[in-house]
Every structure is written in C-alpha cells, then in structure tokens.
Structure 1
Amino acid sequence: RIQSEGVVRVGFANENPYAFAQPDGTLSGEAVEVARAVFEQMGIDEMEGVLTEFGSLIPGLQAGRFDVITAGMYVNPGRCEQVFFADPEYKIGEALVVAAGNPLDLHSYEDIAANPDVTIGTGAGYLENDMLLTSGVTEDQIVTFPDDPSGMAGLQAGQIDAWTGTRPTLIKLLQVTDDPGFELADPFDQPVVDGKEALNFGAAAFRLDDVEFRNAFNDGLQQLKDDGSLVEIISQFEGFDAGADPGDVSVTDICPDAYTDLMGVSTEDEAMAEATSEPTEESMEEATAEPTEEAMAEDSGEMAEIEPVPGGA
C-alpha cells in the first residue's frame, strides 16, 4: 500500500531536533530527514505526520495510526520486544539544564541521588526515567511532564530543580527559551548502566509484522551510511555532528535476544553450519558403508541414461 500510494504516515512527538512540525506545517528534524532520504530511495515521496505524545508512540504504531515512528526513539531491549527497530541512525548522550551558575552543583544523576531534596524533571515515557532510577534517584524526586517545553516551563516556575534529556534536545530548548537564567550543567558525567557509559542509539521503529518494509528501509539506511550522506543529514541539526555517527552498531548489538525469528538465517549461513557441523553416527555409517550389488547396478544403469547438458549448468 505504502509504495503503491507513495505516501507513508509517520508518528512523531514534536521534539526538536528529532522530529517537529515547522510553522508552515511541514515536518523536519534529524529522524524525519533521515527517513525522508530513505523513503525517496524506496519511491515514497510524501510523508504524512501524525503528532503523538512520546509515551503513546509505540501503542499508536501497534494500533495502526501510522506506519513508522520517526522520533529519534532510543533502542533498548524493552522496546525491542514491542517494535522492530531499524539499525541506529545516531548515537547521543544525556545532558542537564540547571539554573545559571549551577548553584546545586549538579554534574551527574548520582549528584541528584545524593541530595534527596533535589527534584529532576523529564518527559513521560522518556528513557531518562529508567536511567535516573538506575542511578539511585528516587521516584519521589522525579517529576514527569508531557514534553520538553512544558518541562522547561516547570523549571522556570520553580517546580523542579533541573531538567534532563538528550544533549541535542536541551541545546535547542535553551536556544528557543532564550532565558539567561538557565544553562547546561558543564561538565556532565554520563550515566552508567550495567557497567557501561549509557550512550544512546536512536532508530526508526516499525511494527513487528512489517518485516519486509523494515528491511527495505534498513537497506536504504545502510546506503546513506556507506556514501556518507547520513552524517551530512544529521549534521544539519543542533547537537549532531560526525561524533553522532553510530558507526557499524546494529540493532542486534543492542538487543541481542530480539528479532531472531524475524531476521532469519541466510542460505550461506545454513550451508556453513551444515559444513562445520559434527557428523552423526548415522551419517558416518552411511559414508563408510559398502555399496550393495543392487545399488551398484542401479547407479550404472541410471548413469548410462543421462544425456549431457549442452553449455554447462
């Protein structure tokens, strides 16, 4: 349907610089422009945006309200159980907006956890909620808002002491807000999850049963990576540069237990597995058995009847 009509419906959460509606109603953003370039390769020239609160993007996709999520959504194992991610299109870290001068001296999520009087805001459904809890921040310290603009308004109103999100988003948020009373905490130590610095990888997300559509998109994305177009596209947006290039990290690197029934095994892989497998007792007996007189007679008779194939096989 999508390719025949040349129109794809994309779910987005109006989060700049990932995906947002411009004043004239057109869509833009890192995730949108990457998707646009891939869809054009696929012969799909029109993108129809469906504005959705971030926490409702996956349910909306599953319900068929749109065909793909283009919101810069982080890939993680929990989400991999619900949607079929393409390979990552960027990598990024976290950041923290605080009052100018950083009077509470907040330079990490651990600093927030160490001071139970500090409150931190983030978006409903944002992965930062899990990172905060993993870092020792209590649920009582976390205040959720529908989106970044409302969270920034809450920070300005004194409802919270800091606001967290991805660095590109917060850089843009401060530019748009244009309030000298707030700044990014500098330096900021990235949260550590399972012993690793929590760099995040974002990707487009598809329904679990849209395997062909997702794979076609993934092939197009790989072309952008191979010819250098991906970095050119994402570098148009604040906070993204060559350092945001995800490299050769794949979705299965992040979610190794997901999609095994969707990815399949190639013929080459099957042949290799067969060639390297240990022989069974049955196969060994067949290989070493002496041919019977009946089998030899049958073989010689059949061979005499085979006509040569002209030109080779």
Structure 2
Amino acid sequence: MRRTGVSRRQLFRTSGVAALAIPAAGFLTGCSFTDPGTGKPTGATLDRLKQQGYARIAIANEPPYTQIKPDGTVTGAEPDVVAAVLERMGVPEIEGVVTPYESMIPGLNANRWDIIAAGLFMKQSRCSQVAYSQPQLVSTESFAVPAGNPKSLTDIASVKSDPAVRVAVLPGGFEDGALKNAGVPPAQTVNVPDGRSGIEAVKAGRADAFFLPTLSLNSLEAEGIDITPPIQDVQQTGSGAGFRQQDRDLVTAYDAELEALKGTPEFDRILDEWGFSGDAARGVTREELCSVEG
C-alpha cells in the first residue's frame, strides 16, 4: 500500500487550509474528469480516482484518528482504514488535506476533497448531508481536567449543574454539538483550534475541562492533567468515511470492500495500532450511529 509521502510532495498552505501537494500527474495539471467551467467532478467518481491514482481526504491531524508524521506521511486510524479499502478498490494513494471539522462537509460538497477520513462522528445532522460508509471506528468521550478534578466533572450533567464551569471544545466537533444538544449554554464553552490548545486552556485556567474522545486526550498527556473515565451521558460515537450524497455508487463499492477488510486480521491490526477495537466497529451499524441526535 502506498501512503501519502514526501516524494514529489511538500506541505503547503492555501486558503487557510494545510494540504499535501498533489503529484504533477494530479489536479495541478488538470483532469479530464473535471468540468473546466465549474471545477466540479464529472463522470463516475471511482473511475476518476482510479485514473488519477489517488483520493484527496480531509483530515484534522488529531491523533489517534488522523495524524501527519514529520515527513509528511498521512496516517492515523481512519486514514489507514480508508487507504486499505481504497487500495482494494484500485486507488493506491491518499492525499491528506488538514482542515477544521466545521469546514469538512462544506469542503466535501465544494469538491475540495473526495472523502472525509477524520473521525467525523456520525449523527443525524451530518448523516443528512454526508453519505457515510459503514462504521470504521467506535470511540468513547472523556474530559481532560486539572489534576484531582477539582470541579468533580464526570459527565455533561455535572457541567450543566454549575453555570461557572467552562468547557473547551473544537468548534463543529461532536463534543461541541453534544453540549449544545444537552442544553449547555454557549457561555459555558470555550472554543479552541486544536487538541494541544484545549489542554493549554485547562492548564492556564481558561477552561475547567476539555471535552474530546478519550483516546485523543490520552495522546495529549500533559503534566498536571487528568483524563476522566468515559462519560456515560453522551451517546455512543463512531465514524465512517464520508462521501458526497451524489456518490452513492462509490459508497456501495466502498462498503463492499470495507466489509471484506473487516473479515481479515488486517482490519484488527490497523485499529489495534491506534487503540481501537475491531469488534466494536463490527458491532454497530451506520443506521444506529446516524440516529444519534445532533
């Protein structure tokens, strides 16, 4: 399997979004599957991806879900699964584009990337805008709090019970939506741009907790910070690859190869490497995760 690497590529910044440059054979020189007037893809998306030899994926650079290594390689649990499935489909490479969570769906629908592969958790509002694959990852949620958890924050209810509590969130992330759906006032949330900034907000006293998936918080371990046990009053979270609604044929083909991959040791090996459970991903359906409110 070929990953996005440093060969003929460099990290660059465009329109406020960090991206990995596409090889000269890619879109920088034009593509017969793109309408020159609108920039929108034409023809079957899978045929286009096979011809160009790569798929552009939106990621957030939030380990263990997504990560860019120092050499520019795109990895993480979701991109690794997506890369394995796409290879089975005849698309040997992935190209990562780093973007905020709130920009992922608009960017997908504006054809800036082909797939969202960022651990963008399924919920009702997103499932109405994105054609998700079957689940690839299932996760839990926790708070990062000052050592000793002085505010005794163990769940969303404990946040709501104290109007003075401030919780850091990534805007547009699942956790931001979970707090809003639970009726936590906007004044109790502190927006931060990334995981490290959330930890720093807690350490500096700007927030009493940082709400994020348990595994993400564990990867951000810092002195003076504790990670709470998984929060119980938030619905089960999980993600799949996200596609444009009009790419239903691509989703069907992707699901078939994903199902085949789930039946191999490779699927468990990929998820085990990042701390996820293959059995957990097999034990839930797209319909169940898309029923999550928000």
Give TM class, smaller chain.
0.7 to 0.9
Q: CA offsets, 1:119-159, max 9 Å, x none?
A: 00110101112222333422111111122122222222211
Over the matched positions of the two proteins, sequence identity in percent amounts to 34
Do residues 241 (structure 1) and 290 (structure 2) align? no
2:266 corresponds to? 229
- C-alpha distance in 1 between matches for 2:55 and 2:230: 39
Do residues 4 (structure 1) and 47 (structure 2) align? no
- C-alpha distance in 2 between matches for 1:145 and 1:101: 23
Range with greater deviation from structure 2 (22-31 or 147-156): 147-156
Unaligned stretches of 5+ in structure 2?
Answer: 1-47
1:181 corresponds to? 224
Displacement after TM superposition at 1:242 (Å): 4.8
Equivalences for 1:122-271 in 2 at 5 Å? 122-174=169-221, 179-185=222-228, 187-192=229-234, 198-237=235-274, 239-242=275-278, 245-255=280-290
SS of aligned partner of 1:246: helix
Displacement after TM superposition at 1:191 (Å): 1.8
Cα distance change on mapping 1:83 and 1:188 into 2, 3 Å: closer
Contact (CA 8 Å) 2:267, 2:278: kept in 1 or not?
A: no
Cα distance change on mapping 1:188 and 1:31 into 2, 3 Å: closer
Number of equivalences = 244
TM-score of the two chains, using structure 1 as the length reference: 0.74
Contact (CA 8 Å) 1:90, 1:201: kept in 2 or not?
A: yes
Cα distance change on mapping 1:62 and 1:103 into 2, 3 Å: same
Range with greater deviation from structure 2 (245-254 or 30-39): 245-254
TM-score of the two chains, using structure 2 as the length reference: 0.79
Displacement after TM superposition at 1:87 (Å): 0.5
Structure whose CA Rg is larger: 1
Contact (CA 8 Å) 1:135, 1:191: kept in 2 or not?
A: no
> What amino acid sits opposite 1:199 in the alignment?
Q
Displacement after TM superposition at 1:204 (Å): 0.6
- C-alpha distance in 1 between matches for 2:194 and 2:128: 24
> What amino acid sits opposite 2:177 in the alignment?
D
Unaligned stretches of 5+ in structure 1?
Answer: 193-197, 257-313
Equivalences for 1:267-278 in 2 at 5 Å? none
The two structures, once aligned, show a CA RMSD in angstroms of 1.6
- C-alpha distance in 1 between matches for 2:171 and 2:179: 13
- C-alpha distance in 1 between matches for 2:268 and 2:119: 15
Cα distance change on mapping 1:47 and 1:242 into 2, 3 Å: closer
Contact (CA 8 Å) 1:14, 1:51: kept in 2 or not?
A: yes
Q: CA offsets, 1:42-77, max 9 Å, x none?
A: 111111111111110111110001100110111111
